[in-house]
Amino acid sequence: AAVGKGNYRHFMEKELHEHPAVLGDTLRQYLDPGTLEVRLPRLPFDPAKVPRLTLTACGSAFLAAHVGRYWIEKLARIPCDADVASELRYRDPPLPEGGAAILVSQSGETADTMAALKLLKEGGQKVLSIVNVPESTMARSSDAALLTVAGPEVGVASTKAFTAQLAVLACLAVGFGRARKQISQVDEGRLTQALLSVPSFAAEILDRDAEIRALAAEVAKARDVLFLGRGSLFPIALEGALKLKEISYIHAEGYAAGEMKHGPIALIDSAVPVIALCPSGPLFEKTCSNLQEAAARGGRVMAFTDAQGAPALRRFAEHVIELPTVGAFSAPILHAIPVQLLAYHVAVLKGTDVDQPRNLAKSVTVE
């Protein structure tokens, strides 16, 4: 059946508002709320023994894979590579015996990711794919497929499928951590609980719509925008920049917060919004001081943080948006939502074709 927009102006807006439901549905596939354990289906490789994982994808799905690498390395201590699919083959990576790969794709039809799948299989890797379309070529060609339960996504720029991919990767990271005895049962319970709280936090964030719209009014005036994040929020800074470029046509760059001083700081002046993903936690201090450097050069700092982080940021930032305090593990999932929402509102203000941005396709079937 054809999907409608309901009462929303665009499919993208409707799909953004589906985040709580989609995250809940996806997490329920892979978590047991009763025992607070991760429940993974049979995998084509043994996570306790796999020597190395190759994560690959394109576009936003690649950024989900990039977060997945941070999680899997931290919780399961499995060495990971994360590459865009169109580069993986040209790097001609030495693939380890007994190795495995994780492919991420909404459509399951992206040509570059399919080409990577072929290369990985020829290199003897077991392939697990995370896809949104169960009958897709990728799902059928992989050794196993894990589904995101995002439903049909019509907006060309991925939203709910992206956070659903993150949800599956988070569950895998916890499951792998347990399989490798890197996390205790208590840790597993705590991480599972954090994931189970994600849907209601997502709903809380969507309630900040008016605040994000006000921020969008400022961002819409800019010619260039810089997004900064550190650790697992670095790929989310890249996602914020990608979304803004894709649908509002404003030039944006995502950068690792600590790397700003090695280049982009040269661009900073009072015309460049610096959008920071800066929740409280172990990485806060350093990121905050990077932002202070930007502010000292006239940069207009706009920060997403939480109640603990807000006071320090308010001393120099132009806008501070307080998100719920969620903890470092689920932070990337929950920070993806406001940056997507921001891009959406900027695009609406710019009057672009939000659901069908120029030159882009929902599924790219050419290499």
Footprint of ligand G6P (CB under 6 A) = 58-61, 105-107, 110, 113, 156-158, 360, 362-364
Instruction: Tell me how far, at minimum, the Cβ of 138 lies from ligand G6P, in Å.
Output: 8
Instruction: Tell me how far, at minimum, the Cβ of 41 lies from ligand G6P, in Å.
Output: 21
Residue by residue, what is the 3-state secondary structure of 191-229? HHHHHHCHHHHHHHHHCCHHHHHHHHHHHCCCCEEEEEE
When the beta carbons of 138 and 194 are compared against ligand G6P, the nearer one is 138
When the beta carbons of 76 and 354 are compared against ligand G6P, the nearer one is 354
Closest listed residue to residue 156, CA positions, set 350, 367, 343: 343
When the beta carbons of 321 and 347 are compared against ligand G6P, the nearer one is 347
From 74, 121, 286, 362, the catalytic residue: 362
When the beta carbons of 103 and 260 are compared against ligand G6P, the nearer one is 103
When the beta carbons of 85 and 256 are compared against ligand G6P, the nearer one is 85
Sign of CA pseudo-dihedral 339, 342, 344, 346: negative
Instruction: Tell me how far, at minimum, the Cβ of 153 lies from ligand G6P, in Å.
Output: 9
Instruction: Tell me how far, at minimum, the Cβ of 73 lies from ligand G6P, in Å.
Output: 22
Alpha helices in the chain (DSSP H): 11-17, 19-30, 59-76, 85-91, 111-122, 137-141, 160-179, 185-196, 198-206, 209-219, 234-248, 284-296, 310-314, 331-350
When the beta carbons of 191 and 342 are compared against ligand G6P, the nearer one is 342
Residue 251 β-bridge partners: 224
Active site residue 362: yes
CA distance 229 to 281: 13
Asked whether the beta carbons of 238 and 211 are under 8 A apart, the reply is no
Asked whether the beta carbons of 126 and 312 are under 8 A apart, the reply is no
Burial class of 207 by CB neighbour count within 10 A (0 to 12, 13 to 18, 19+): exposed
- Residue 114 tokens, joined: 């399919």
Sequence-distant (≥ 6) Cβ neighbours of residue 165 within 8 angstroms: 61, 64, 65, 104, 106, 130, 148
Asked whether the beta carbons of 277 and 339 are under 8 A apart, the reply is yes
Q: Is 305 helix (H, G, I), strand (E, B) or coil?
A: strand
Sign of CA pseudo-dihedral 209, 215, 218, 221: negative
CA distance 57 to 131: 11
Closest listed residue to residue 83, CA positions, set 135, 48, 119: 119
Instruction: Tell me how far, at minimum, the Cβ of 145 lies from ligand G6P, in Å.
Output: 13
User: Which residue, judged by CB position, is nearest to ligand G6P in the bound state?
Assistant: 59
When the beta carbons of 83 and 306 are compared against ligand G6P, the nearer one is 83
Instruction: Tell me how far, at minimum, the Cβ of 48 lies from ligand G6P, in Å.
Output: 29
Instruction: Tell me how far, at minimum, the Cβ of 59 lies from ligand G6P, in Å.
Output: 3
Q: Which are the catalytic amino acids?
A: 362
